[in-house]
């Protein structure tokens, strides 16, 4: 397994990491993802470690803390072999202090996560959403105190806009606090919005992308095809409205090319979709999930080989969508392009 630096930090992370959203799954969303118990989770961890996956991602909101509890139990006795990433800020209850990123909430959320995970430190502690009601100065100071206390090693964010990331980094620089090193983002062949603003920002500011839902919310598994009904066992029957939107024709166009390349390479459709992501600038790690061992082993087949340049070009072309304002002038006019060359033209990392 290739390892990469997480942004501008010294932390080395595997190119693929494991998302524990299926662990202890309950409720309409996470229950549809899976309900992996501790015994099954230990087996998943065994397979990951054998393959070189040492980073495991979760969040307090995943099944109301059950994901962290199951992950902690599955990692028992192996804590020093792994990197644990978790997230907070989304609501964990109906009380006034049960959501957001206030100082009291962050400290309590960190203590709760440490207890559920059965560990004395969190390697990467991320804000799961921007809290517009709490001053950024308070947020960054609280995170800095957790780092100084040794309870958190690095901090990051998830699903922030460009200005929210930059404001956080500016406050950190002004007060001498640790900077965020990671941005956990949605990015896939059918969802490339990350490239327009957040990817250039990540390059400029040294943020490593941790990619969630790299298979487009389960749409790039190879089971969804043009002219065919949604498979009976697909989680999309219950979770489609929770995830990123996509136009059906765009999805089918991308899947058509994925299937062509699958026939050419002998690889599975999801392996090709994951391999494409691993070549993109700023991507430090792609988070894969799995409901069972078969699915996990298939996703592990995304590394150890590379798509041909011509195949990458075909995927780039079919997955491209018109740039939103204010970025579309850079695509259409030579003068703008010279001043703002596309980030995706930058040298890509080998998978």
For residue 331, count other CB atoms closer than 10 A to its CB: 13
Half-sphere exposure of residue 84: CA atoms within 13 angstroms, side-chain side = 29
> Which residue in 200, 131, 205, 194 sits closest to 170, CA to CA?
205
Q: Which helix (H) or strand (E) holds 95?
A: none
Instruction: Determine the distance from the C-alpha atom of residue 142 to the mean position of all C-alpha atoms in its chain, rounded to a whole number.
Output: 24
DSSP H helices in 103-161: 103-117, 136-148
Residue 46 contacts residue 296 (beta carbons within 8 Å): no
At 184, give phi and psi (nearest 5°).
-85, 120
Which listed residue (62, 154, 187, 194) is catalytic?
62
CA 140 to CA 160: how far, in whole Å? 15
Instruction: Tell me if residue 327 is catalytic.
Output: no
Long-range contacts of 345-348 (CB under 8 A, 24+ apart): 346/203, 346/281, 347/281, 348/279, 348/280, 348/281
The whole-angstrom distance between residue 90's C-alpha and the CA centroid of its chain comes to 16
Which residue has tokens 């996703």? 299
Helix, strand, coil % over all residues of the chain, rounded to 5: 45, 15, 40
| Contact between residue 184 and residue 210 where contact means Cβ atoms under 8 Å apart | yes
Name the token pair of 292: 């069972």
* Residue 5 bridge partners (DSSP): 12
What residues act catalytically?
62
């Amino acid at each position: 397994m290739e390892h990469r630096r997480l942004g501008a930090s010294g932390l080395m992370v595997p190119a693929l990491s494991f998302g524990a959203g299926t662990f202890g799954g309950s409720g309409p969303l996470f229950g549809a993802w899976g309900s992996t118990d501790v015994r099954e989770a230990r087996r998943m961890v065994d397979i990951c470690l054998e393959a070189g996956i040492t980073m495991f991602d979760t969040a307090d909101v995943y099944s109301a803390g059950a994901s962290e509890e199951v992950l902690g139990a599955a990692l028992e006795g192996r804590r020093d072999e792994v990197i644990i990433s978790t997230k907070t800020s989304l609501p964990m209850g109906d009380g006034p202090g049960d959501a957001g990123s206030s100082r009291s909430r962050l400290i309590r959320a960190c203590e709760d996560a440490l207890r559920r995970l059965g560990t004395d430190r969190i390697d990467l502690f991320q804000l799961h959403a921007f809290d517009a009601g709490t001053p950024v100065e308070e947020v960054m100071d609280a995170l800095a105190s957790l780092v100084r206390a040794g309870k958190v090693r690095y901090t990051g964010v998830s699903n922030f806009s460009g200005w929210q990331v930059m404001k956080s980094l500016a406050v950190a620089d002004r007060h001498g606090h640790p900077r965020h090193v990671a941005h956990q983002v949605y990015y896939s062949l059918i969802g490339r919005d990350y490239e327009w603003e957040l990817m250039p920002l990540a390059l400029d500011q040294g943020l490593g992308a941790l990619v969630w839902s790299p298979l487009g919310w389960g749409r790039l598994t190879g089971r969804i095809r043009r002219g065919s009904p949604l498979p009976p066992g697909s989680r999309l029957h219950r979770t489609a409205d929770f995830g990123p939107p996509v136009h059906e024709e765009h999805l089918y166009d991308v899947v058509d090319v994925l299937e062509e390349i699958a026939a050419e390479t002998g690889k599975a459709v999801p392996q090709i979709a994951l391999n494409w992501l691993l070549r993109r600038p700023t991507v430090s790690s792609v988070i894969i999930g799995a409901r069972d061992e078969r699915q996990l082993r298939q996703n592990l087949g995304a590394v150890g080989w590379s798509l041909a340049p011509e195949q990458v070009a075909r995927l780039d072309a079919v997955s491209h969508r018109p740039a939103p304002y204010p970025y579309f002038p850079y695509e259409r006019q030579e003068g703008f392009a010279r001043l703002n060359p596309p980030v995706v033209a930058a040298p890509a990392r080998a998978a």
